[in-house]
Chain A
Amino acid sequence: DTGVSQDPRHKITKRGQNVTFRCDPISEHNRLYWYRQTLGQGPEFLTYFQNEAQLEKSRLLSDRFSAERPKGSFSTLEIQRTEQGDSAMYLCASSLWVAGNYGYTFGSGTRLTVV
């Protein structure tokens, strides 16, 4: 499978615990994005990387959220001290950004439930 892979598919955690999600993008893609989707809403942008540099972060990304892409390949999204409001589907996408023309490929997402 040469698509975008996300792990785990589902995560149930107790409030206050830390969780980490992983995203493996399409290997030749230079941009990687994280989105969050709650029930009845469209995906909301969280952050994105070009290679290993984190270029933009949404105001939605509180101090409890951190994302990394250490070698410009896979990325991790960590949520510290989880809250019930963090329950959502976390989507990763990648793209090959060339002179402003690109197409996103989305992964299947990690569904987080905070109890």
Chain B
Amino acid sequence: AQSVSQHNHHVILSEAASLELGCNYSYGGTVNLFWYVQYPGQHLQLLLKYFSGDPLVKGIKGFEAEFIKSKFSFNLRKPSVQWSDTAEYFCAVNAQGGTASKLTFGTGTRLQVTL
């Protein structure tokens, strides 16, 4: 069965600091990878996704993630965070192949950006 680990549960950064949130997954086959964001009081929104091709994926709002297959990792990065990036961030994985398309989520990382 697939699983996802997010090692940072709560991250506090000052505005303009750089961000990197860790995500590791456990699955022996080919995967699709996602990062979702949940702003306070809002629904989950897709930040970016990796299906194939260039392992460096660019998403919305200046976020990017790099898929490193050898490390089973898909870390999220942003060079300079803003106060409006305060939210909870979830990494998710889906096993390619077959007909199932369910996502397995990590436990999330709460990001707090201070002014």
Whole-angstrom CA separation of A41 from B51 in the bound complex: 25
B contacts, CB < 8 Å to A: 4, 34, 36, 42-46, 49, 51, 90, 92, 96-97, 99-108
- Tell me, yes or no, whether A101 is within 8 Å of chain B by CB: yes
Whole-angstrom CA separation of A115 from B17 in the bound complex: 43
Residues from 78 to 108 in A contacting B, C-beta threshold 8 Å: 91, 93, 95, 97, 100-104, 106-108
Residues of A within 8 A of B105 (CB): 42-44
- Tell me, yes or no, whether A33 is within 8 Å of chain B by CB: yes
Instruction: Output the nearest chain A residue to B99 by Cβ-Cβ distance.
Output: A55
Give A53 Cβ to nearest chain B Cβ, in Å.
11
Interface residue from B49, B51, B100, B107 paired with A40 (Cβ < 8 Å): B107
Whole-angstrom CA separation of A55 from B104 in the bound complex: 17
Q: How large is the interface on A (under 10, 10 to 19, 20 to 34, 35 or more residues)?
A: 20 to 34
Residues of B within 8 A of A102 (CB): 101
Whole-angstrom CA separation of A41 from B49 in the bound complex: 21
Give A78 Cβ to nearest chain B Cβ, in Å.
20
Is B101 in contact with A103, judged by CB distance below 8 angstroms? no
Is B43 in contact with A48, judged by CB distance below 8 angstroms? no
A contacts, CB < 8 Å to B: 3-4, 31, 33, 40-45, 48, 50, 55-56, 91, 93, 95, 97, 100-104, 106-109
Instruction: Output the nearest chain B residue to A47 by Cβ-Cβ distance.
Output: B102
Asked, given contacts A42-B92, A43-B105, A44-B105, whether A55 binds B100 with beta carbons under 8 Å apart, the answer is yes
Which 10 pairs from chain A and chain B are nearest by CB? A42-B105, A106-B44, A45-B102, A108-B43, A106-B43, A43-B105, A42-B90, A42-B107, A42-B108, A42-B106
Residues of B within 8 A of A97 (CB): 101
Most B CB contacts (10 A, CB to CB) among A48, A55, A95, A100 go to A100
Give A33 Cβ to nearest chain B Cβ, in Å.
7
Whole-angstrom CA separation of A104 from B105 in the bound complex: 13
